[in-house]
Each structure stands twice: as C-alpha cells, then as structure tokens.
Amino acid sequence: MTRFTAVDIIHQKRAGQPLSAAQIDWIVHAFTTGEVADEQMAALAMAIYFQGMEIAEIAQWTSAMIASGDTMDFSTLENPTVDKHSTGGVGDNITLMLAPLVAVFDVAVPQLSGRGLGHTGGTLDKLEAIPGWRATLTTAEMLTQLGQIGAVICAAGAGLAPADKKLYALRDITGTVDAVALIASSIMSKKIAEGTGALVLDVKVGAGAFMKTPERARELAETMCELGRQANLPTTALLTDMSQPLGSAAGNALEVATAVEILAGGGPADTRQLTIELAQEMLRLAGKTDVDVAAALDDGRAMDKWRAMIAAQGGDADAPLPKARHRHTITAPTSGYISQLDALAVGEAAWRLGAGRAKPGDAIQAEAGVQIHAKVGDYLRAGSALFTLHTQTPERFESAIARLHEAVNITDTAPPPAVLIHERIRR
C-alpha cells in the first residue's frame, strides 16, 4: 500500500480537494492500526464535515472501512436475506416487529443491531428488557437461527468494519457525527460487510433525527442508495417523520410492550403503519409482491415468529417485563389540539429518567421511560393525561418534567394532519 502523510491529506481536504483512492485506503488503514493518531483523524473528519466528499470518495471510504475487518456470508441459506436500517429516532422499536414479520414470508432477516447513545434508544437495550434474552451470538448460532426461524436480532461482532467503530467513537466526541459522507459510509460499510442480499433504509427526518430537514435526509438517503448500487446491494429508502416520537412510548421495556401489542394485531397506528410499509418494501426487494403483510400481524403468525426468535436467544416471551417503582403523570394545562410534540424533548426526558446512557458502557434502567398518551392532531381536555413518566430513581423526575414541558404545544385550531412517510427513494 502506498504511504502518504496524514497532514498532507488533511490540508488537501481542508482546501476542498478530493482525495485519491490510494490516499483514502491508506488513511483508513493507518488509522485502524494506530499509525495515524486520533487527533489527525479528528481533524480530517472536521475537514470532511465542512468540505464534504464526492460520491467516488465516499464509495472508496466505504470499501476501505469494509476491508478493515471481516465480512459475513449468508449465501448458504435457502431463503433470500433482506435487512433494514434506521438512522435512529425516539420510540423507534420497528426492528422488533419487522424481523419476525418479514420472516413469516420465508425471507431471512439478519438484523445486526447496536446500543443506544444519547436520546435515541438501541435495539439491543430494548430486547435486554426481556428476562434471559442474550444479545451475543456466534456466527454459527446466527446462521442456524436464520435457517430455522428466519429472524435474528443480535449484536454486531467486533470484527465487522472495525475502522468504523473507532471512527464513530471519535466523531461522537468531536462534533462530526452529522456529516452526510461520514454517516453514509458508516452505515453502508457495516451493511455491505454483513452480507445481506438487499437493504431497506428508514431515514428519519425532523427534530428527533440526525437530519432535521427533508433536503438533508434526502441527500443522505440518495447517497446510501448509490453506495448500495455500486456495491451490488439493492437498496431503497423511506424518509419518515421524526418531528414527533413514533408510537406511544420511549424507553426500553415500554417499547417492548408496544412491540408485543403490534404483534398481537393492535398497538399505535403510526407504528403499525410504518412496520407494514417497511415490511412490504423489504419483501418487494426479495421478490415477494403478492403477500398480505397486515394479515400476518392480525392472525398471530408474526407473534409466533417473535416467540421463537426470543426463545432461541434464551428469552422468556411470557415473563412479565420489568416495571418502574415510581411513576408521575403530566396532564394538559388547557383544552385544545396538540400541534407539536417534540421528539427530541421526549427522547431527552426518557434519557433523564434513566432509559439511556451518556457514554458507552453506562448502566441503564430497563424500566425507565415516557409513555405518550396523545399525538399531534389529538384533541385533549384540560387535565387529561399527556405523559406518564417511569423511573426507579424519583430524583430524576424534576429534570425530565422540565424537558417535557417544553415538548408540547396546544392550540385552539387543529394542525395539518401529521405525515408519517415523506418520500420513497428507489434507484
């Protein structure tokens, strides 16, 4: 591999010039091995944040991160594989229902997931609220479960795109997370290395998302779809709303409870609709267009898959979920329509109650979180319940309540109807 100098590469990008393939391969490799120091990579990430990268550079960066570690192979499975990735939001528990639902139709879903950081929850943290459930599987266990049940949600092994793991940790503490080039290459390197046969992206847009505007979300989605196309990974994206939280809860055990409601054919209307839309999109990519997805939620087939998936990883789907010792209800101060319900504020309130962590490795409370009793467009009478707060540590109530008071706007007139799916991107 040709050697370069990190400082020259930083200067070049800082001046807005594209990097060559050889430069990108070298710096990603040298950063992974420790030859390039964290502060140099942080400076380069900041230069990329301000100057961006061309699509050829992003594709090369993605390949270099894939090459830093292992790749997986699902080609021995009988059924096609399709995965979904969400860019993260408040109350977004869709993966829990989606994996078993899609598996009902003989499509395997290898869902390598992560833990939450900051105001967005992590799928593994949610599932760990189920007594006995185990996040870590060997590759052999994962393949067996995919073959037998068709759905796996587990921790991504440390060997997959280690360059991304190291870079993500650095971006997190240097204000360089929300750069399109870096997010797109981070997500797609892991998905391509994982070896899924097709991919559906749920790109969140709004106050509770990385991407606050539809324009930025579209740019991210189109970049990721193009990276997928160049890597022969059929990829499509939905731009979905994260101005208000999804569903009726933010918090680990609370979101598992909502997932079980959806799998039983009920649950919040927006969560059910998005689950069905994403499942249809995944099945379409797997060549299955003539299927009734909603029926599998209503007739118990998705629930049966869920129970099998949880049991295969040591979980007891019948065990009661942990419940918080302390609760507090916030009521509407006046009568009117909810015209705004800020997803970021609800996510941060759940975090303040103990549902999330401030840094990797912090302990979390499975029981903590916020139940949401009304959504944008609902009419409420003064005194009716808006939120119920759950925690094991009541001294946390005060700051969570303060954050939730900033979350809601109540008006005399009805707001325009809330939009759940803003756009579909299929290349």
Q: Which residues of the chain form contacts with ligand URA (CB under 6 A)?
A: 87, 168, 177, 182-183, 186-187
Least distance to ligand URA from the beta carbon of 373, Å?
30
Min dist. Cβ of residue 172 to ligand URA (A): 9
The one-letter amino acid at 192: I
Min. distance of Cβ 50 from ligand URA in angstroms? 17
Residues in a beta bridge with 205: 211, 241
Which position among 171, 390, 396, 403 bears the catalytic label? 171
Answer yes or no: 85 catalytic: yes
150 contacts 106 by C-beta, under 8 angstroms:
yes
Residue of minimal Cβ distance to ligand URA? 186
- Whether residue 202 contacts residue 240, with contact meaning beta carbons closer than 8 Å, is answered with yes
- Encoding tokens for residue 186? 């981070």
Contacts of 62 (CB under 8 A, 6+ apart): 184, 185, 188, 189, 192, 227, 231
Q: In whole angstroms, how close is the CB of 221 to ligand URA at the nearest point?
A: 13
Q: Residue 193 or 366: which CB sits closer to ligand URA?
A: 193
Q: Which is nearer to ligand URA, 162 or 394 (CB)?
A: 162
Set 13, 85, 165, 166: catalytic member: 85
Q: Shortest approach of ligand URA to residue 387 CB, angstroms?
A: 27
CA distance 384 to 310: 36
Gap between the Cα atoms of 395 and 378, Å rounded: 31
Annotated catalytic, 164? yes
Q: Which residue from 263, 255, 230, 226 is spatially nearest to 367, judged by alpha carbons?
A: 255
Burial letters 4-28, b for 16+ CB under 10 A, else e: bebeebbebbeeeeebbeebbbbbb
Whose Cβ is closer to ligand URA: residue 108's or residue 182's?
182
339 is known as an active-site residue: no
Nearer to ligand URA, 191 or 390 (CB): 191
Active site residue 166: no
Q: CB-wise, 176 or 252, nearer to ligand URA?
A: 176
By DSSP bridging, strand 369-372 and strand 249-250 are antiparallel
- CB burial of 397-422 (b: ≥16 within 10 Å; e: otherwise) equals beebbebbeebbebeeeeeeeeebeb
Which position among 185, 186, 189, 248 bears the catalytic label? 186
Parallel/antiparallel/unpaired status of strands 385-391 and 421-426: unpaired
Residue 186 falls in the annotated catalytic set: yes
Q: Which is nearer to ligand URA, 53 or 149 (CB)?
A: 53
Which of 84, 165, 190, 191 is the catalytic position? 190
What's the min distance (Å) between Cβ of 382 and ligand URA?
A: 40
Catalytic positions are 85, 164, 171, 186, 190
